[in-house]
Structure formats: C-alpha cells, structure tokens
Structure 1
Amino acid sequence: MLERFTTAARSTVLAARAEARQLGHPQIGTEHLLLAMLHPDAGTAYDVLSAAGLDHARVTAAVTRLVGTVQPFGPADTAALEAIGIDLEAVRARLEETFGPGALDPAPPPPRRGLFGRRRAEPRTGRFGPRAKVVLELALREALRLRHNHIGTEHLLLGIIREEKGLAAKVITDAGIDLRDLRRDTEAAIGGHDNPA
C-alpha cells in the first residue's frame, strides 16, 4: 500500500509520528494524522482544512485538552519542586537551551539481545493505533472508489472523515465543521487538481 502514497502523503505519515512523539503519545492516532495535515506541505488536505477554518495551533490545543500530553513530571512533582524554590519550566528551558531540544527526552533502551548474544528486533515506537490503521485502509478504499492510482493527503483526509469515530473527527466536529460538508469540499478540491498531493 505504501508504494501508492504520494510524496506529500508519505511526509504526512512521517509528520504524524513526529506529532505523536512531540505530544508524548505512545501511539499514532487519527489526531496526529490530522495535525500532520495542517502543515502547508500537506497539499490538498491542508488547503481544504485551512479553508474550513482549522489550523495547527487550534487542533493542537483541542487534542491536548481532550487527551493531554505525557510529561515526565506530574502536577504533584512540579508543586513539590516549586515549594523548595525550583521552577521546573525554567530548568527545562535552560537545559534545552544548553543541550538542544529534546535534551530531557528519555534515553532509548539498550539493544535487546537474544540467543547467543545476537541482537533481537527492536520494539517499534510510534506504532499506529487501531483507528489510525483503519484511516490508512479507508484512504486506500477512497482512492480506489475515485479510481485514482495513488493515495494522496486528500485520500487520508477522506479516510479520517469516513472513519468518523476517531479523535480527529471529534476535533473537526467540535470546531463546528460538518463532516459531510468537509467530504464535499475535499472531493471538489480533488476535482480541481491535476497533480496528486
């Protein structure tokens, strides 16, 4: 299936992994695919979503509100450190200024060893969650339905719309956007583009 993905669609899938990692989420969900589509290089999906009134900051805020982010220190830890005069955010900012972004990210686990000390396959991080897998499958089905020989960002967006139960669809509808209207706008945009995005 991946061989059918356009360059923009592949970049969007990789960006979804980065979005999940940035929010500290262990799996890539439909919300991360949606966030990745809100980058200007996401082609048709970006155009349609922007025209509908969605932007990256707004969707990030909605996802954070609904799911949260995974932080190494909880509110109790932060309060305890503040009680003794340590501003955790100032420390974090200073460390990242000195050592670069992600300086406080957890270290990767040591290589796993199997029989006779051979390396075992590494557990993959950033796997697609069940709903995101459904979206990818539905993107293929949408491309086939439209008789396209490629899967572009527009098909990924149609997959999110068709799946309609994931967090991405909830964020879209919570923003006051009707999924049927968004589908219509996406299909109209596909008709207006000669080159795949």
Structure 2
Amino acid sequence: MFERFSKEARAAVVKAQEVARDEHSGVIDSRHVLVALIETPGPAVAAVAGSGLDTTEAVRTLRRDIRAGDALDADALAALGIDLDAVRDRTDAVFGEGALDRAGAARRRRSPGHIPFTPDAKKGLELALREAIRLRSSTIDGGHLLLGILRDTRNPAARALSDAGADLGRIRHLVENPAEAA
C-alpha cells in the first residue's frame, strides 16, 4: 500500500512519527496523523481551515491531548463526579503550567526507534486507500489520508475534530472539491 503514497502522504506519515517523538508518545494514533496533515501544506489543511476551524488552536489542542495520553479519560472521570479540567487547572496553579501532562509523559516511554501505529491509525491508512480507489486516484495523497481518518468517526482524530466544532461532512466535501477550499 505504501508504494501508492504520494510524496506528500509519505511526508505526513514521517511527520506523524516526529509528532509522536515530540510528544513522547509510545504509539502513533490517528491524532498524530491529523496533526501532521494540519501542519503540512496541502489539501488536508486547506479543507480543515476552509471548514472554519482554527487550525492553530486545533493543533495546540491535539498536541495537548496527545501529551496527556489516555491515562486520564475525562468522560470516565466525569462519571465519577471528577472534573478533569478543574483538576488540571488546580494542578497547573500549584505545580506550574502543564504539570499533570508532564507527570503522565514521564511514565510513557520515549522510543528512539520504531513507533508502532495503533489500530485506529492503521485503519485510517487502510481507509485512505479505499478513498483513493473510490475517487479513482492512482496515488494516495494527504487529502485521502484525511478522508480515511474521517471515514471512521469513532477514531480519536475524528472525535477531536468533531469536539472542536468541525463539520466533518464539510471537511470531506472540501477535500473532494479542493477548488472550494481555496
């Protein structure tokens, strides 16, 4: 499949690995790929920006969530009556900005070598191939990667975009019709 990736799509996968290393992640999930796509000029970032989403804020939030990892599930804590944002704010006030995130990152391993893809990231890459085939493209580019991520609305990247207020249908439309995203 990777032989069909365009130079842009290959660069996004490499950038996703860099994002994982930057944020001390032991794995690469769909959020890492999304950050890479948004931070790299191309049809994906144009579509996300064209949908009205503030890409700078989206990347900042995604990177923060990646740093925080999966150890603190805000929804699970809320079910127990714990407001994670309030805990994070109080921790920042007492120990300094980002203290909770740093504490979680210290426990995760930093991998100098290969960083594995999570099942949701692998599925996004597979769905990118299906999107390229559907659109009759001989190569997989960054737009196809974004479409693959958006196709499974349960993955962390699609949820993050949705939580940020993005209209996923609009983003899909703009990727498929790039002239409208400009």
TM-score, length basis structure 2: 0.70
Match of 2:135 in 1: 146
Structure 1's 27 and 107: CA in aligned 2 closer, same or farther, altered over 3 A? closer
Structure 1's 192 and 59: CA in aligned 2 closer, same or farther, altered over 3 A? closer
Contact 1:44 1:190 (C-alpha < 8 Å) held by counterparts:
no
Structure 1's 191 and 3: CA in aligned 2 closer, same or farther, altered over 3 A? farther
In the alignment, is residue 15 of structure 1 matched against residue 4 of structure 2? no
Match of 2:170 in 1: 181
More helix by share: 2
Number of equivalent positions = 148
**Aligned-pair CA distance for 1:149:** 0.6
In structure 1, C-alpha distance between the alignment counterparts of 2:65 and 2:166, rounded to whole Å: 17
Contact 2:4 2:139 (C-alpha < 8 Å) held by counterparts:
yes
Q: Look at both structures and tell me which one has the larger radius of gyration over its CA atoms.
A: 1
**Aligned-pair CA distance for 1:106:** 6.1
**Aligned-pair CA distance for 1:54:** 3.8
Structure 1's 7 and 178: CA in aligned 2 closer, same or farther, altered over 3 A? same
Instruction: List alignment gaps of at least 5 residues for structure 1.
Output: 83-88, 90-104, 109-123
Match of 1:164 in 2: 153
Contact 1:138 1:162 (C-alpha < 8 Å) held by counterparts:
yes
TM-score, length basis structure 1: 0.65
In structure 2, C-alpha distance between the alignment counterparts of 1:151 and 1:20, rounded to whole Å: 22
In structure 2, C-alpha distance between the alignment counterparts of 1:190 and 1:133, rounded to whole Å: 29
Equivalent position amino acid for 2:57 in 1: R
Match of 1:50 in 2: 49
167-176 or 55-64, larger mean C-alpha shift: 55-64
Instruction: List alignment gaps of at least 5 residues for structure 2.
Output: 70-90, 100-108
In structure 2, C-alpha distance between the alignment counterparts of 1:62 and 1:12, rounded to whole Å: 19
**Aligned-pair CA distance for 1:49:** 1.4
Contact 2:43 2:178 (C-alpha < 8 Å) held by counterparts:
yes
Percent identity between the aligned chains?
36
- Give RMSD over aligned pairs: 3.0
